[in-house]
Amino acid sequence: MPMIEIRDVSKWYGQFQVLADCTTHVDKGEVVVVCGPSGSGKSTLIKCVNALEPFQKGDVVVDGISLSARGTDLPRLRARVGMVFQHFELFPHLTVIENLCLAQRKVLGRSRPDAVGKAMHYLDRVGLASQRDKFPGQLSGGQQQRVAIARALCMDPIAMLFDEPTSALDPEMVGEVLEVMVGLAREGMTMMVVTHEMGFANNVSDRVVFMDAGRIVEDCRTAEFFGDMGARSERARQFLGKILPNRVRAEQGQSTR
Amino acid sequence: MAGFDWGSIAASLPFLMKGLSYTVQLTVIAAIGGTIWGILLALARLSGIAPLAWVAAGYVNLMRSVPLLLVIFWFYFLVPVMLQWITGAAYPPRIGADRSAYVTFILFEGAYFCEIVRAGIQSIPKGQLSAAYAIGLNYAQAMRLVVLPQALRNMLPVLLTQTIVLFQDVSLVALLNVTDLVGAASKIAQRDSRLVEMYTLVAVIYFVLSYALSLAVKALNRRIAIIR
């Protein structure tokens, strides 16, 4: 049974349709990368999975629970699905350890020692145990994003959603965040990842979903997606053609500076 | 300045200090009560529940469009009559000038604090609310634990500046014959015919306290700027 099922989801901002009949799924333990040009609706789609974005048509079912059914306890459902944002969104008025304990205490009702123990476990895992009493503003972008991942893991999520987790980072910090994500994937975490990191998609993901103009254009095994370009849609070929050389060019630009 | 009677100042000080203590008390209680009332009004205005937002907006705009002195008179003179009319009592209930002053200032300042808090809430990036929801907090928890602490910290200098204005505005209650700092001074001034001494002294006290507070707010502002 899929952990996350997205069924015919459509969404409009006024007259403008941002999502058109999107259907896909993420199985338990599967890593699915969602990619596509900017404005294609991939961030909107992933935010529909934990109901941060409302949608007008279709349904999302997470672990057998329908988001659009009456009586679904959305806060409780969200607490079980971890989410990592492009801009980290740590709470700047709380220390690292307080960021990690807040929802454990207020939502799960864990005792302070239990919450701190769990928090320290995951902080250690992302290599930031020594930063526990710092404020987010005192950390680098890469460190903040690793704390944000730890914050989500503290809730013992059944799945993790990543919304462009490395897009706001300086290039030298991308690696440390991806490394944590690769580790999670290897351990069998169910993951849905919106990203432009085609290396991560190619090496780690099981499936790739390609979106354009609010539609899911491609949804196939990763080996297929990167292997047989001839079988890909024209739009996906254009996108890959642009994004892959772009990265090479960017790296060359770095070295000449 | 030859006729300036320093002796009358010394003799009046204990009574003036009693007045000052009432002024400070009213200021502090009105600031705290006004902030709480202002937060509730701001949440109502931002709630997205149309009737609630509309009523709160109407209240805030009304309070901010009527002179404070009129609001003070209105509560003191008219509310008891209204209460009498509503309850059908034989006489208007006696509320008393100082109790009426507390209620008036909390309700009046609430409107101003509301607009400050509203701006503060709107200054917090939307992603913070999303992140709060994403870890499972409900709306009330997200507001109380994530958005409001940041909004109030950002707004603290403005809230304190508004409180300094309030500290000065409180002097209007002297017109209800309440013995605040100005009321105390004017009672002695009239009793001893020392208008120059009393009103000068009170002005100096107001200046020193208000200016010292505004310097403190400036210093606080710098510290907050560093933390951000």
Compute CA distances A89 → A8, A13, A82, A137, B206, whole Å. Answer: 30, 24, 13, 11, 44
Which residues of chain B neighbour A93 with C-beta distances below 8 Å? 149-150, 153
Tell me the pLDDT tens digit for each residue of A112-147. 999 999 999 999 999 999 999 999 999 999 999 999
- Which residue type does A204 have? V
The predicted structure's pLDDT at residue A255: 42
Instruction: Inform me whether the pLDDT recorded for A64 exceeds 70.
Output: yes
Say yes or no to pLDDT of B10 above 50.
yes
Q: What is the ipTM of this complex?
A: 0.90
- The rounded percent of chain A whose pLDDT value lies above 70 is 95
Q: Taking a contact as any Cβ pair under 8 Å apart, which residues of chain B between 96 and 155 contact chain A?
A: 125, 127-128, 130-138, 141, 145-146, 149-150, 153
Write the DSSP string, B94-147: ---HHHHHHHHHHHHHHHHHHHHHHHHHHTS-HHHHHHHHHTT--HHHIIIIII
**pLDDT category, A249, cuts 50, 70, 90?**
very low
Using DSSP's 3-state secondary structure scheme, residue A27 falls into strand
Q: Which two tokens stand for residue B155?
A: 């707004």
* Confidence (pLDDT) at B224: 74
Chain A with chain B: Cβ pairs closer than 8 A: 66
Tokens 């709480």 -> residue: B36
* Per-residue pLDDT tens over the stretch B213-224: 999 999 988 887
Gap from A109 CA to chain B (nearest CA, Å): 12
pLDDT band of B226, cuts 50, 70, 90: low
- A residues 130-189 lying closer than 8 A (beta carbon) to B: 135, 137, 151-152, 155
pLDDT at B55 over 70: yes
pLDDT for residue B60 is more than 70: yes
**Is it the case that residue B128 has pLDDT exceeding 80?**
yes
Strand bridging mode A65-66 / A215-221: unpaired
